[in-house]
Structure 1
């Protein structure tokens, strides 16, 4: 699985002008299931993201996790994270097929929630608009294939 994680002071996803998910302080997580991914990758990535120490502590250092601050996660499916960009037109053949991608996206969200984090979601496969206030900015790339 791949994820692009952004520390935010707020984030919202809308579909057809209706708010699908919204959070205050926390993480906006764009996630993509790759071919061959299983629940094992969902669990690993959820733990990694919830415990990633990228929030400021009292000394203004990145030393606190999402769990530490009691923040929320807005989780948005984004198959374009699987982009193969060898040429000028991206290919997405390494992304999990849609049915499998949706199942793993939902499993990942459930894993984050099970770790005690309030979760909001986008709508899998929908044309979404994402608005955010990136705090820092802090943006982290994670890939379970890289460990």
Structure 2
């Protein structure tokens, strides 16, 4: 698990999910237009939740870790990074990762305020897009603060929790 040096309390929680294909609805259908979707082929879906205390300072290390940690399985079975695969990245804001069970409900008191989370998420998108520059690869992202529909095809539930 990745972590911040000298600090035991995480400020960002992520789950990495290897995929063969993923499709995320970023805008629901309305009376005027059909639903809008973003899609990646082989790569990684990263669910992201910013917690209290998160600042832009954590983002460069986070992006480096997400793109270089060896959690993707290559066709040969060897574990490689997204950069080595090569593969595309789909960022999905996921506030529920900040929840804690209290009795029979889940509370989200540790989550960052929505405006701060949106700002950090936008910076994360930009940094990832700057780093994923190989031809044919892409960074796609969901819409912060909206409920979204996700379709994912995977060859196994290879999910990894990383906290920063």
When normalised by structure 1's length, the TM-score is 0.90
Report the equivalent of 1:69.
85
Structure 2, unmatched stretches of 5+, are: 1-11, 30-34
| Conserved? CA contact 1:46–1:111, under 8 Å | yes
User: TM-score, with normalisation over the residues of structure 2?
Assistant: 0.81
Contiguous gaps of at least 5 residues in structure 1: none
Query: How many equivalent pairs are there?
Result: 143
SS for the counterpart of 1:76 is: strand
- Distance (Å, rounded) in 1 between the aligned partners of 2:116 and 2:97: 16
Decide which structure has the larger Cα Rg and report it: 2
Structure (1/2) with the larger helix percentage: 1
Shift of 1:88: 1.6
Structure 1 position 54 matched with structure 2 position 71: yes
Deviation at 1:87, TM superposition (A): 2.1
Matches of 2:74 and 2:20 in 1, distance apart?
15
Contact 2:74 2:85 in 1 (8 A): no
How far apart are residue 112 of structure 1 and its match?
1.5
Larger fraction in strand: 1
CA contact (8 A) 1:12 1:19 kept: no
Cα distance in 2 for residues equivalent to 1:67 and 1:10: 17
Cα RMSD of the aligned pairs, angstroms, is 1.5
> Pick from 155, 158, 162: which aligns with 1:135?
155
Aligned partners of 2:74 and 2:94: how far apart in 1? 30
1:19 to 33, 36, 45: 36
Aligned: 1:105 with 2:117 = no
- Structure 1 runs (4+) deviating above 3 angstroms are none
CA contact (8 A) 1:46 1:108 kept: yes
Residue-by-residue CA offset, 1:73-107 (whole Å, 9 max, x unaligned): 11011111100113221111111100000011111
